[in-house]
Amino acid sequence: MYKGKVIVIYGMGKGKTTSAIGKSIKYLAEGRTVSMIQFLKGSRESAMFDVLRRFEPDMKVFRFEKHLEKFSELDEEEKAEELANIRNGLNFAQKVLTTESCDVLILDEVLGLIDRGIIPEEDLISIIRKRPDSMDLMVTGRVLCDGVRDLANEVYRIDAE
């Protein structure tokens, strides 16, 4: 039986999401299903988002934020509005883990929620601990906290620009 892993891709460089997508394509080639939940990226669709839709139903991408702009580009009032949507995304992540509705779950930029003080580190640790043994869980973001590092099976740091 397959033993799933916790994979972390972090760092200040560009390419964390792209790396996660590359790993996803490998999983898809193995016949596994992938769900990606993106945080802090806004709801504006990009060319990459359109390409990822071509992999449905084997790969699904979710964004719960309603503003088009990235979270960092919002004013304080808009950020406050988005916090509920971000919580909905986290709740959905927990549901995916509980129902085991995919083989691989990617929480893209979830580490940024901790870095920005949106959620405490313990919330993400709790989500990671709910991961079924047979599921891979991948998390991305700029800053890696010690508690998440301790739970990781693989850690990749990207500092290139």
Domain ranges (residues) in the chain: 20-157
8 A C-beta contact, residue 49 and residue 108? no
Which residue is associated with the tokens 């359109």?
50
Reply yes or no on whether the pLDDT at 147 is more than 90: yes
The CATH code for residues 20-157 is 3.40.50.300
Q: What is the pLDDT of residue 50?
A: 78
Instruction: Choose among 71, 65, 67: nearest CA to 84.
Output: 65
> Quick one: average pLDDT of 51-62?
89
Reply yes or no on whether the pLDDT at 16 is more than 70: yes
Token output for 19:
């790396």
pTM of the model: 0.91
Residues 152, 139, 101, 83, Cα dihedral to 10°: 130
Q: What is the pLDDT of residue 7?
A: 98
Reply yes or no on whether the pLDDT at 120 is more than 70: yes
- pLDDT grade, residue 54 (50/70/90)? confident
Q: What is the pLDDT of residue 68?
A: 78
Which residue is associated with the tokens 């406050």?
80
d(CA 89, CA 100): 16
